[in-house]
Chain A
Amino acid sequence: MSELPNPVDFAVPAFVALMLVEIWLVRRRKQTRAYSPGDTATSLFLGLGSTVAGVLSAGLVYALATWVHTFALFDIGLDLRSWWWAWILCFVIDDLAYYVFHRSAHRVRWFWASHVIHHSSQHYNLSTALRQTWTGFLSIAFIFRLPLFLIGFPPAMVFFVAGLNLIYQFWIHTEAIDRLPRWFEAVMNTPSHHRVHHATNARYLDRNYAGVFIVWDRMFGTFEPETEAETIRYGLVNNIGSFNVLWAAVHEWVGIVRDVWRAPWRHKLNYVIREPGWSHDGSRDTSDTIRAAWLEKGKQ
Protein backbone atom coordinates (compact mmCIF):
# COMPACT_ATOMS: atom_id res chain seq x y z
CA MET A 1 0.00 0.00 0.00
CA SER A 2 1.29 3.50 0.86
CA GLU A 3 5.05 4.01 0.93
CA LEU A 4 4.57 6.40 3.86
CA PRO A 5 3.52 5.49 7.40
CA ASN A 6 0.19 6.56 8.86
CA PRO A 7 1.09 9.49 11.18
CA VAL A 8 -1.98 8.77 13.34
CA ASP A 9 -0.38 5.49 14.50
CA PHE A 10 2.49 7.49 15.99
CA ALA A 11 0.14 10.03 17.60
CA VAL A 12 -1.94 7.48 19.57
CA PRO A 13 0.37 7.43 22.65
CA ALA A 14 0.18 11.24 22.74
CA PHE A 15 -3.64 11.07 22.49
CA VAL A 16 -3.74 8.77 25.53
CA ALA A 17 -1.27 10.91 27.51
CA LEU A 18 -3.19 14.12 26.75
CA MET A 19 -6.49 12.53 27.79
CA LEU A 20 -4.93 11.53 31.12
CA VAL A 21 -3.62 15.08 31.58
CA GLU A 22 -7.08 16.52 30.81
CA ILE A 23 -8.72 14.08 33.25
CA TRP A 24 -6.27 15.11 35.98
CA LEU A 25 -6.85 18.77 35.16
CA VAL A 26 -10.67 18.64 35.30
CA ARG A 27 -10.46 16.74 38.59
CA ARG A 28 -8.16 19.41 39.98
CA ARG A 29 -10.49 22.18 38.80
CA LYS A 30 -13.46 20.23 40.22
CA GLN A 31 -15.11 20.15 36.77
CA THR A 32 -16.52 16.73 37.55
CA ARG A 33 -19.06 16.85 34.71
CA ALA A 34 -16.37 17.04 32.03
CA TYR A 35 -15.91 13.27 31.87
CA SER A 36 -18.05 10.28 32.79
CA PRO A 37 -16.99 6.62 32.64
CA GLY A 38 -19.87 5.46 30.39
CA ASP A 39 -19.42 8.26 27.89
CA THR A 40 -15.64 7.85 27.79
CA ALA A 41 -15.98 4.09 27.25
CA THR A 42 -18.45 4.66 24.38
CA SER A 43 -16.18 7.23 22.73
CA LEU A 44 -13.03 5.14 23.03
CA PHE A 45 -14.61 1.88 21.86
CA LEU A 46 -16.11 3.74 18.90
CA GLY A 47 -12.63 5.07 18.19
CA LEU A 48 -11.09 1.61 18.38
CA GLY A 49 -13.80 0.17 16.15
CA SER A 50 -13.31 3.00 13.68
CA THR A 51 -9.61 2.18 13.40
CA VAL A 52 -10.41 -1.47 12.68
CA ALA A 53 -13.07 -0.47 10.11
CA GLY A 54 -10.55 1.90 8.50
CA VAL A 55 -7.95 -0.87 8.21
CA LEU A 56 -10.50 -3.19 6.57
CA SER A 57 -11.42 -0.64 3.88
CA ALA A 58 -8.01 1.03 3.46
CA GLY A 59 -6.79 -1.28 0.70
CA LEU A 60 -9.85 -0.65 -1.46
CA VAL A 61 -9.75 3.13 -0.93
CA TYR A 62 -6.03 3.23 -1.71
CA ALA A 63 -6.54 1.17 -4.88
CA LEU A 64 -9.31 3.54 -6.00
CA ALA A 65 -7.12 6.57 -5.25
CA THR A 66 -4.25 5.06 -7.24
CA TRP A 67 -6.55 4.37 -10.20
CA VAL A 68 -7.97 7.93 -10.16
CA HIS A 69 -4.39 9.24 -9.93
CA THR A 70 -3.62 7.66 -13.34
CA PHE A 71 -5.81 10.42 -14.85
CA ALA A 72 -3.86 13.18 -13.04
CA LEU A 73 -3.38 16.57 -14.68
CA PHE A 74 0.10 17.13 -13.22
CA ASP A 75 2.99 14.85 -12.34
CA ILE A 76 3.80 15.65 -8.71
CA GLY A 77 6.51 13.75 -6.86
CA LEU A 78 6.79 12.69 -3.23
CA ASP A 79 10.33 13.78 -2.48
CA LEU A 80 10.12 16.45 0.23
CA ARG A 81 13.27 18.37 -0.85
CA SER A 82 12.11 18.80 -4.46
CA TRP A 83 8.39 19.00 -3.83
CA TRP A 84 8.14 20.79 -0.44
CA TRP A 85 5.74 23.37 -1.90
CA ALA A 86 3.48 20.58 -3.18
CA TRP A 87 3.31 19.11 0.33
CA ILE A 88 2.18 22.47 1.73
CA LEU A 89 -0.29 22.98 -1.12
CA CYS A 90 -1.61 19.46 -0.67
CA PHE A 91 -2.18 20.08 3.05
CA VAL A 92 -4.13 23.29 2.34
CA ILE A 93 -6.24 21.83 -0.51
CA ASP A 94 -6.90 18.69 1.52
CA ASP A 95 -8.18 20.91 4.34
CA LEU A 96 -10.51 22.65 1.86
CA ALA A 97 -11.72 19.20 0.70
CA TYR A 98 -12.28 18.37 4.38
CA TYR A 99 -14.40 21.52 4.77
CA VAL A 100 -16.57 20.51 1.78
CA PHE A 101 -16.90 16.97 3.10
CA HIS A 102 -17.72 18.15 6.61
CA ARG A 103 -20.33 20.63 5.43
CA SER A 104 -21.95 17.91 3.31
CA ALA A 105 -21.78 15.56 6.28
CA HIS A 106 -24.07 17.95 8.17
CA ARG A 107 -26.37 18.82 5.27
CA VAL A 108 -26.92 15.49 3.48
CA ARG A 109 -28.44 12.73 5.58
CA TRP A 110 -26.50 9.94 3.81
CA PHE A 111 -23.20 11.46 4.89
CA TRP A 112 -24.65 12.51 8.26
CA ALA A 113 -25.56 8.89 9.04
CA SER A 114 -21.86 8.16 9.20
CA HIS A 115 -20.70 11.43 10.78
CA VAL A 116 -23.43 11.64 13.46
CA ILE A 117 -21.40 9.20 15.60
CA HIS A 118 -18.83 11.92 16.23
CA HIS A 119 -21.53 14.26 17.55
CA SER A 120 -23.44 11.73 19.61
CA SER A 121 -21.80 12.59 22.95
CA GLN A 122 -23.34 15.20 25.26
CA HIS A 123 -19.88 15.59 26.79
CA TYR A 124 -17.04 17.51 25.16
CA ASN A 125 -13.54 16.40 25.95
CA LEU A 126 -10.52 14.85 24.24
CA SER A 127 -12.15 11.41 24.21
CA THR A 128 -14.93 12.92 22.04
CA ALA A 129 -12.32 13.49 19.33
CA LEU A 130 -11.83 9.74 19.11
CA ARG A 131 -15.56 9.01 18.79
CA GLN A 132 -15.26 8.25 15.09
CA THR A 133 -17.36 6.55 12.48
CA TRP A 134 -17.46 2.85 11.69
CA THR A 135 -19.30 3.40 8.42
CA GLY A 136 -17.16 5.93 6.59
CA PHE A 137 -16.58 3.55 3.68
CA LEU A 138 -20.31 2.87 3.32
CA SER A 139 -21.03 6.61 3.20
CA ILE A 140 -18.47 6.98 0.33
CA ALA A 141 -16.97 10.00 2.12
CA PHE A 142 -13.66 9.30 0.33
CA ILE A 143 -15.09 10.87 -2.87
CA PHE A 144 -14.36 14.33 -1.44
CA ARG A 145 -10.62 13.66 -1.71
CA LEU A 146 -10.72 12.38 -5.31
CA PRO A 147 -10.08 15.86 -6.84
CA LEU A 148 -6.67 15.92 -5.15
CA PHE A 149 -5.64 12.74 -6.99
CA LEU A 150 -6.96 14.19 -10.26
CA ILE A 151 -4.83 17.31 -9.75
CA GLY A 152 -1.85 15.01 -9.39
CA PHE A 153 -1.04 14.78 -5.70
CA PRO A 154 0.22 11.23 -5.08
CA PRO A 155 -2.16 9.11 -2.93
CA ALA A 156 0.61 8.55 -0.36
CA MET A 157 1.01 12.31 0.05
CA VAL A 158 -2.74 12.92 0.33
CA PHE A 159 -3.29 10.20 2.92
CA PHE A 160 -0.28 11.40 4.91
CA VAL A 161 -1.50 15.03 5.09
CA ALA A 162 -5.03 13.75 5.83
CA GLY A 163 -3.50 11.96 8.84
CA LEU A 164 -1.85 15.20 9.97
CA ASN A 165 -5.21 16.97 9.59
CA LEU A 166 -6.85 14.36 11.82
CA ILE A 167 -4.10 14.71 14.42
CA TYR A 168 -4.54 18.50 14.46
CA GLN A 169 -8.25 18.09 15.15
CA PHE A 170 -7.66 16.03 18.29
CA TRP A 171 -6.60 18.80 20.67
CA ILE A 172 -9.47 21.17 19.75
CA HIS A 173 -11.99 18.85 21.46
CA THR A 174 -11.59 20.35 24.91
CA GLU A 175 -13.13 22.81 27.33
CA ALA A 176 -9.82 23.02 29.20
CA ILE A 177 -8.51 25.68 26.81
CA ASP A 178 -10.46 28.92 26.62
CA ARG A 179 -9.34 31.37 23.91
CA LEU A 180 -5.98 31.59 22.15
CA PRO A 181 -4.23 34.72 20.83
CA ARG A 182 -6.37 36.70 18.41
CA TRP A 183 -4.14 36.08 15.37
CA PHE A 184 -4.34 32.33 15.97
CA GLU A 185 -8.15 32.35 16.42
CA ALA A 186 -8.41 34.34 13.17
CA VAL A 187 -6.69 31.73 11.02
CA MET A 188 -6.74 28.38 12.78
CA ASN A 189 -9.48 26.13 14.07
CA THR A 190 -9.34 26.25 17.87
CA PRO A 191 -11.12 24.70 20.87
CA SER A 192 -13.38 27.78 21.02
CA HIS A 193 -14.42 27.51 17.34
CA HIS A 194 -14.94 23.77 17.56
CA ARG A 195 -17.03 23.95 20.74
CA VAL A 196 -19.44 26.02 18.65
CA HIS A 197 -19.46 23.26 16.01
CA HIS A 198 -20.42 20.60 18.58
CA ALA A 199 -23.12 22.73 20.20
CA THR A 200 -26.85 22.13 19.79
CA ASN A 201 -27.84 25.68 20.75
CA ALA A 202 -29.90 27.16 17.89
CA ARG A 203 -27.42 29.98 17.24
CA TYR A 204 -24.58 27.48 16.77
CA LEU A 205 -26.25 24.79 14.64
CA ASP A 206 -24.37 23.89 11.43
CA ARG A 207 -21.52 26.32 11.97
CA ASN A 208 -17.70 26.11 11.99
CA TYR A 209 -17.07 23.12 9.73
CA ALA A 210 -13.32 23.74 9.48
CA GLY A 211 -10.70 21.08 10.03
CA VAL A 212 -7.46 23.03 10.46
CA PHE A 213 -8.01 26.50 8.96
CA ILE A 214 -11.08 28.41 10.20
CA VAL A 215 -10.64 30.75 7.23
CA TRP A 216 -12.86 28.44 5.11
CA ASP A 217 -15.83 29.17 7.40
CA ARG A 218 -15.08 32.88 7.30
CA MET A 219 -14.87 32.74 3.48
CA PHE A 220 -18.01 30.69 2.90
CA GLY A 221 -20.28 32.33 5.51
CA THR A 222 -20.52 29.51 8.04
CA PHE A 223 -18.46 31.06 10.84
CA GLU A 224 -19.97 31.73 14.25
CA PRO A 225 -17.88 32.94 17.21
CA GLU A 226 -18.35 31.48 20.69
CA THR A 227 -20.21 33.78 23.06
CA GLU A 228 -20.04 33.79 26.82
CA ALA A 229 -23.69 34.85 26.99
CA GLU A 230 -24.95 31.34 26.37
CA THR A 231 -24.00 28.03 27.99
CA ILE A 232 -23.16 25.46 25.34
CA ARG A 233 -25.13 22.23 25.17
CA TYR A 234 -23.29 19.50 23.30
CA GLY A 235 -24.61 16.50 21.42
CA LEU A 236 -27.46 16.07 18.98
CA VAL A 237 -30.73 17.94 18.51
CA ASN A 238 -32.32 14.61 19.44
CA ASN A 239 -29.83 12.86 21.71
CA ILE A 240 -29.70 9.09 21.46
CA GLY A 241 -29.92 8.71 25.24
CA SER A 242 -27.81 5.56 25.35
CA PHE A 243 -24.21 4.45 25.81
CA ASN A 244 -24.79 1.44 23.54
CA VAL A 245 -21.76 1.46 21.22
CA LEU A 246 -23.40 -0.44 18.37
CA TRP A 247 -26.51 1.73 18.46
CA ALA A 248 -24.38 4.89 18.43
CA ALA A 249 -22.59 3.54 15.35
CA VAL A 250 -25.63 2.62 13.28
CA HIS A 251 -28.71 4.43 14.62
CA GLU A 252 -29.01 6.97 11.80
CA TRP A 253 -28.62 4.28 9.13
CA VAL A 254 -31.47 2.39 10.81
CA GLY A 255 -33.45 5.65 10.81
CA ILE A 256 -32.88 6.09 7.06
CA VAL A 257 -34.01 2.55 6.30
CA ARG A 258 -37.16 3.00 8.44
CA ASP A 259 -38.03 6.35 6.85
CA VAL A 260 -37.42 5.20 3.28
CA TRP A 261 -39.51 2.09 3.93
CA ARG A 262 -42.47 4.07 5.31
CA ALA A 263 -42.35 7.09 2.99
CA PRO A 264 -44.50 7.51 -0.12
CA TRP A 265 -42.55 6.63 -3.29
CA ARG A 266 -42.03 10.19 -4.46
CA HIS A 267 -40.42 11.17 -1.14
CA LYS A 268 -38.21 8.12 -0.53
CA LEU A 269 -35.03 9.55 -2.05
CA ASN A 270 -35.39 12.79 -0.10
CA TYR A 271 -35.00 10.87 3.17
CA VAL A 272 -31.51 9.96 1.91
CA ILE A 273 -30.28 13.14 0.26
CA ARG A 274 -32.03 15.97 2.13
CA GLU A 275 -30.76 17.54 5.34
CA PRO A 276 -31.02 15.62 8.65
CA GLY A 277 -34.45 16.07 10.21
CA TRP A 278 -36.21 16.65 6.89
CA SER A 279 -39.62 14.97 6.58
CA HIS A 280 -42.13 15.05 3.74
CA ASP A 281 -44.94 16.23 6.03
CA GLY A 282 -42.81 18.80 7.86
CA SER A 283 -43.43 17.05 11.19
CA ARG A 284 -39.77 17.07 12.23
CA ASP A 285 -37.22 19.76 12.92
CA THR A 286 -34.16 20.54 10.87
CA SER A 287 -31.39 22.86 11.99
CA ASP A 288 -32.89 25.50 9.67
CA THR A 289 -36.36 25.33 11.26
CA ILE A 290 -34.88 25.38 14.77
CA ARG A 291 -32.73 28.39 13.93
CA ALA A 292 -35.68 30.17 12.28
CA ALA A 293 -37.88 29.60 15.35
CA TRP A 294 -35.09 30.87 17.60
CA LEU A 295 -34.64 34.01 15.50
CA GLU A 296 -38.41 34.59 15.48
CA LYS A 297 -38.53 34.21 19.27
CA GLY A 298 -35.69 36.73 19.56
CA LYS A 299 -37.72 39.33 17.62
CA GLN A 300 -40.71 39.05 19.97
Chain B
Amino acid sequence: MNLLQIIGSLVAVLAVIAAVKLLGLGRAQLAGPSEACENAEAMVHGFTATDAIVCGEGNGALVAGDKGDFVVLKRLGSYYAARKLLPPISTAERDDTVLHIESGDRYFGRVNLTFPDAASRTAWQQRLEHSA
Protein backbone atom coordinates (compact mmCIF):
# COMPACT_ATOMS: atom_id res chain seq x y z
CA MET B 1 0.00 0.00 0.00
CA ASN B 2 1.46 3.35 -1.03
CA LEU B 3 0.67 6.92 -0.04
CA LEU B 4 -1.61 7.40 -3.04
CA GLN B 5 -3.70 4.38 -2.02
CA ILE B 6 -3.97 5.68 1.56
CA ILE B 7 -5.11 9.11 0.32
CA GLY B 8 -7.56 7.46 -2.10
CA SER B 9 -8.96 5.29 0.72
CA LEU B 10 -9.35 8.34 2.94
CA VAL B 11 -11.30 10.18 0.23
CA ALA B 12 -13.52 7.10 -0.25
CA VAL B 13 -14.13 6.85 3.51
CA LEU B 14 -15.21 10.50 3.65
CA ALA B 15 -17.46 10.03 0.61
CA VAL B 16 -19.26 7.06 2.20
CA ILE B 17 -19.75 8.92 5.50
CA ALA B 18 -21.08 11.95 3.57
CA ALA B 19 -23.55 9.73 1.70
CA VAL B 20 -24.88 8.28 4.97
CA LYS B 21 -25.25 11.78 6.42
CA LEU B 22 -26.82 13.35 3.32
CA LEU B 23 -29.42 10.59 3.04
CA GLY B 24 -30.43 11.15 6.67
CA LEU B 25 -29.71 7.61 7.85
CA GLY B 26 -29.13 6.69 11.48
CA ARG B 27 -32.21 8.11 13.14
CA ALA B 28 -33.74 6.32 16.09
CA GLN B 29 -36.27 7.16 18.74
CA LEU B 30 -37.53 5.07 21.63
CA ALA B 31 -41.28 4.67 21.13
CA GLY B 32 -42.08 4.44 24.82
CA PRO B 33 -41.24 2.96 28.23
CA SER B 34 -41.93 -0.62 27.10
CA GLU B 35 -39.32 -0.36 24.34
CA ALA B 36 -36.84 1.10 26.85
CA CYS B 37 -37.51 -1.83 29.23
CA GLU B 38 -37.10 -4.32 26.40
CA ASN B 39 -33.75 -2.76 25.40
CA ALA B 40 -32.45 -2.73 28.97
CA GLU B 41 -33.40 -6.38 29.60
CA ALA B 42 -31.84 -7.48 26.32
CA MET B 43 -28.58 -5.65 26.89
CA VAL B 44 -28.01 -6.15 30.62
CA HIS B 45 -28.00 -9.83 31.43
CA GLY B 46 -30.08 -10.71 34.51
CA PHE B 47 -31.84 -7.34 34.64
CA THR B 48 -35.63 -7.38 34.95
CA ALA B 49 -37.26 -4.03 34.25
CA THR B 50 -40.26 -2.75 36.17
CA ASP B 51 -40.76 0.74 34.77
CA ALA B 52 -38.98 3.34 32.68
CA ILE B 53 -39.04 6.92 31.56
CA VAL B 54 -38.09 7.96 28.04
CA CYS B 55 -36.15 11.21 27.88
CA GLY B 56 -35.00 13.73 25.31
CA GLU B 57 -37.52 12.83 22.59
CA GLY B 58 -36.46 9.20 22.66
CA ASN B 59 -32.71 9.77 22.75
CA GLY B 60 -32.25 8.07 26.09
CA ALA B 61 -34.07 6.47 28.98
CA LEU B 62 -33.82 5.50 32.58
CA VAL B 63 -35.06 2.04 33.47
CA ALA B 64 -35.76 0.75 36.97
CA GLY B 65 -35.33 -2.91 37.86
CA ASP B 66 -37.04 -5.31 40.22
CA LYS B 67 -34.06 -5.36 42.61
CA GLY B 68 -34.05 -1.58 43.07
CA ASP B 69 -31.36 -1.32 40.40
CA PHE B 70 -31.24 1.02 37.39
CA VAL B 71 -30.08 0.94 33.79
CA VAL B 72 -29.43 4.03 31.71
CA LEU B 73 -29.83 3.98 27.92
CA LYS B 74 -28.25 6.39 25.50
CA ARG B 75 -28.63 6.54 21.76
CA LEU B 76 -25.59 5.54 19.76
CA GLY B 77 -26.26 5.88 16.07
CA SER B 78 -29.42 3.94 15.24
CA TYR B 79 -29.39 1.86 18.41
CA TYR B 80 -29.04 2.21 22.16
CA ALA B 81 -26.20 1.35 24.49
CA ALA B 82 -26.92 0.43 28.11
CA ARG B 83 -25.11 0.61 31.41
CA LYS B 84 -26.23 -0.72 34.74
CA LEU B 85 -25.73 2.05 37.28
CA LEU B 86 -23.80 1.01 40.35
CA PRO B 87 -24.58 2.72 43.66
CA PRO B 88 -23.80 5.28 44.85
CA ILE B 89 -25.15 6.83 41.64
CA SER B 90 -23.79 10.28 40.97
CA THR B 91 -26.32 12.72 39.53
CA ALA B 92 -26.49 16.46 39.03
CA GLU B 93 -29.40 18.55 37.76
CA ARG B 94 -28.48 21.10 35.10
CA ASP B 95 -31.88 22.76 35.21
CA ASP B 96 -35.47 21.83 36.07
CA THR B 97 -35.70 19.03 33.53
CA VAL B 98 -32.13 17.98 32.64
CA LEU B 99 -30.23 15.47 34.73
CA HIS B 100 -26.58 14.45 34.33
CA ILE B 101 -25.91 10.83 35.30
CA GLU B 102 -22.41 9.42 35.65
CA SER B 103 -22.35 5.98 34.04
CA GLY B 104 -19.22 4.97 35.94
CA ASP B 105 -17.56 4.10 32.63
CA ARG B 106 -15.17 6.74 31.30
CA TYR B 107 -15.77 5.99 27.63
CA PHE B 108 -19.52 5.46 27.93
CA GLY B 109 -19.41 8.82 29.63
CA ARG B 110 -21.91 10.99 31.41
CA VAL B 111 -25.48 10.68 30.15
CA ASN B 112 -27.61 13.81 29.96
CA LEU B 113 -31.31 13.05 30.16
CA THR B 114 -34.00 15.61 29.42
CA PHE B 115 -37.14 14.70 31.37
CA PRO B 116 -40.65 15.66 30.25
CA ASP B 117 -41.07 17.91 33.29
CA ALA B 118 -39.45 19.01 36.55
CA ALA B 119 -41.60 16.72 38.70
CA SER B 120 -40.53 13.56 36.88
CA ARG B 121 -36.89 14.67 36.97
CA THR B 122 -37.08 15.18 40.75
CA ALA B 123 -38.87 11.89 41.33
CA TRP B 124 -36.37 9.83 39.31
CA GLN B 125 -33.38 11.63 40.80
CA GLN B 126 -34.63 10.74 44.28
CA ARG B 127 -35.11 7.12 43.26
CA LEU B 128 -31.54 7.00 41.92
CA GLU B 129 -30.10 8.54 45.05
CA HIS B 130 -31.89 6.00 47.23
CA SER B 131 -31.07 3.03 45.00
CA ALA B 132 -29.98 -0.28 46.45
Q: Cβ of A268 < 8 Å from any Cβ of B?
A: no
Q: Cβ of B121 < 8 Å from any Cβ of A?
A: no
A33 touches B28 (CB 8 A): yes
Chain A 1-46 residues near chain B, CB threshold 8 A:
9, 12-13, 16, 19-20, 23-24, 26-27, 32-41, 44-45
Select the stretch in B12-20, B50-58, B91-99 that faces chain A.
Answer: B12-20
B107 touches A35 (CB 8 A): no
Chain B 74-114 residues near chain A, CB threshold 8 A:
74, 76-79, 81-83, 103, 105, 107-109
Give complex CA distance A271, B36 in Å: 33
Chain A 40-60 residues near chain B, CB threshold 8 A:
40-41, 44-45, 47-48, 51-52, 55
B46 touches A55 (CB 8 A): no
B77 touches A36 (CB 8 A): yes
Min CB distance B17 to A, Å, is 5
Query: What count of chain B residues pass the 8 Å CB interface test?
Result: 36
Chain B 18-72 residues near chain A, CB threshold 8 A:
19-21, 23-28, 42-43, 45-46
A23 touches B23 (CB 8 A): yes
B81 touches A36 (CB 8 A): no
CB nearest neighbor in B for A58: B1
Please judge, given known A-B contacts A9-B5, A48-B10, A239-B82, whether A35 and B25 are in contact too, CB under 8 Å.
yes
B78 touches A48 (CB 8 A): no
B26 touches A32 (CB 8 A): yes
Give complex CA distance A281, B76 in Å: 32
Complex interface: chain B residues within 8 A of A34 (CB): 25, 78
CB nearest neighbor in B for A294: B45
B45 touches A37 (CB 8 A): no
A19 touches B26 (CB 8 A): no
B77 touches A44 (CB 8 A): no
Complex interface: chain B residues within 8 A of A127 (CB): 16
Min CB distance A217 to B, Å, is 24
Complex interface: chain A residues within 8 A of B46 (CB): 285, 293
Give complex CA distance A34, B28 in Å: 10
Give complex CA distance A19, B27 in Å: 19
B77 touches A122 (CB 8 A): yes
Q: Cβ of A243 < 8 Å from any Cβ of B?
A: yes
* A189-204 to B contact mask, C-beta < 8 Å, 1/0: 0000000000010000
Q: Cβ of B123 < 8 Å from any Cβ of A?
A: no
Please judge, given known A-B contacts A52-B6, A241-B83, A242-B108, whether A37 and B12 are in contact too, CB under 8 Å.
no
B78 touches A41 (CB 8 A): no
B76 touches A243 (CB 8 A): yes
Please judge, given known A-B contacts A32-B78, A38-B77, whether A48 and B9 are in contact too, CB under 8 Å.
yes
* A224-242 to B contact mask, C-beta < 8 Å, 1/0: 0000000001010101111
Please judge, given known A-B contacts A9-B1, A39-B78, whether A33 and B26 are in contact too, CB under 8 Å.
yes
Give complex CA distance A9, B6 in Å: 11
CB nearest neighbor in A for B12: A16
Complex interface: chain A residues within 8 A of B45 (CB): 237, 285, 290, 293
CB nearest neighbor in B for A42: B77
16 additional A-B residue pairs with CB within 8 Å, beyond A36-B77, A52-B1:
A12-B12, A23-B23, A27-B23, A27-B24, A37-B77, A40-B20, A48-B10, A55-B1, A122-B78, A123-B79, A200-B43, A241-B81, A241-B83, A241-B103, A241-B108, A293-B45
